[in-house]
Structure 1
Amino acid sequence: MKRLETIFVALNGWALILMLSAMTLVVGANITLRYVTAHSLPWADEAARYLMIWMTFGGAGLVLRTGGHVAITNLQDALPSMGQKLLRAGIALGLLVFFGFMVYVGIQYAQRMQYQVTPALRMPFLYVYAAMPVGFALLIAHLLLIARPFIMAGDYKRMDGATADPLPGGANG
């Protein structure tokens, strides 16, 4: 199971690297063409924007794994140990419900947009809006993989598999 998790995280990371590389190449080529030939690619801005959308949704799960999202821990710190665990379990459950709802909403929205095409690339908006349900499904997978250590100890997993403090320097609050 640990090996599958490592492969899953690595694939997620490499997908983000490929998208960032593609965005860099497209924007770089567009800038170069603009200054060398005085013409730019009409689809470059649109492609870069859609790659950024996919990177945002695709990377949210990796950020969740490391505790990189905003967190306010004042209430948790004021509770006894068992109360902290119950609060973290409630947070994890609430996140799972919310992420599941967003997958459902994202699928509906993507399906509604399947017949409209993007202005420059002329591809169905379905491919752009699919980033939302895919990203939230990735969030669900990442949350399920880190839920136990988070609930039990408030720890997050670092990218190298070790655990990290919820906040840099171990300062909570």
Structure 2
Amino acid sequence: MLDCIERWLVAINRWILIVLLLAMACIIFSNVVLRYTTGDSIFWAEEVSRHMMIWVTFLGAGLVLRTGGHVAIDNLHTAVGTRAARMLRGLVAVGIALFCVFMAVASSDYVWRTRFQTTAATDIPISFIYAAMPVGFVLVLVHLAFIARRYVMQGQYVAEEEMDGDAASSI
């Protein structure tokens, strides 16, 4: 049952990112073409694409965590014994979880405080854009819950064909 939920969560998360990135690319491409062919541009294109990039960043963080793509320093837990390494990885997982919980709560407060402000070009409530933070941190927490046991016990992330976490974090 949990495997099914995890697969669905990852698939939905990926498709949302794909749609957002595709829409962002189309908006920016159209704006550039219009600017150079007609001299006019879409007045809301830059603002909307920036907001989409914010959502992509926060929604994608959990997927990157699953594969170990975030920057990490793993020299210490590879240099110590198995038991100490597990304890260190456990502390890292708990630290990430506590950070995500704190940031989800703090950013939810921030979303609430900005609920009456709107953006300049599109008049979208700023709280909608800032809602990417609590949603993203909760998603990171959920993804962490799915991978934590394997990470703590074996020091491994989820292996995926599309993404090599070691290569991504070493760029």
TM-score normalised per structure 2: 0.92
Q: Which has the higher contact order (CA 8 A, sep 6+)?
A: 2
Query: What SS does the aligned partner of 1:9 have?
Result: helix
CA distance in 1, matches of 2:97, 2:76: 21
Aligned AA (2:69): G
Question: 4+ residue stretches of structure 1 with deviation over 2 A?
Answer: 158-161
Aligned-pair CA distance for 1:66: 0.3
- Return the letter of the residue paired with 1:56: T
Query: Which one-letter code corresponds to 2:19 in the other structure?
Result: L
In the TM superposition, residue 160 of structure 1 has moved relative to its aligned partner by 5.2
Corresponding position of 1:79: 80
The alpha-carbon deviation at position 31 of structure 1 amounts to 1.1
C-alpha displacement at 1:124, in angstroms? 0.5
Structure 2 match to 1:6: 7
| Equivalent-residue separation in structure 1 for 2:143 and 2:112 (angstroms) | 25
Matched, 1:59 2:60: yes
AA of the residue aligned to 2:103: M
Query: Is the partner of 2:116 in helix, strand or coil?
Result: coil
The equivalent residue for 1:151 is 152
SS of alignment partner, residue 167 of structure 1: helix
Match of 2:45 in 1: 44
C-alpha deviation, 1:167, in angstroms: 3.4
**For 1:1-150, what aligned pairs fall within 5 Å after superposition?**
1-150=2-151
* 3-state SS, counterpart of residue 90 of structure 1: helix
What is the alpha-carbon distance in structure 1 between the residues aligned to residue 81 and residue 14 of structure 2?
A: 36
**Range moving further from structure 2, 94-103 or 70-79:** 70-79
**Cα displacement string for residues 137-162 of structure 1 (whole angstroms, at most 9, x for unaligned residues):** 0000000000010000000002359x
Q: Distance in 1 between matches of 2:41 and 2:112?
A: 32
- Once residues 160 and 131 of structure 2 are traced to their aligned partners in structure 1, the CA distance between those partners, rounded to angstroms, is 26
Q: CA RMSD in A?
A: 1.5
Q: For residue 87 of structure 1, what is the amino acid of its counterpart?
A: L
| Per-residue CA distance 1:63-117 (angstroms, 9 max, x = gap) | 0000000111111122110000011111101110000000001100011111010
Corresponding residue number in structure 2 for 1:167: 166
CA distance in 2: counterparts of 1:159 and 1:9, whole angstroms: 12
Any idea what SS the aligned residue of 1:157 has? coil
1:38 Cα deviation from its structure 2 partner: 1.1
Unpaired segments ≥5 residues, structure 1: 169-173
Distance 1:105 1:3 in 2: 31
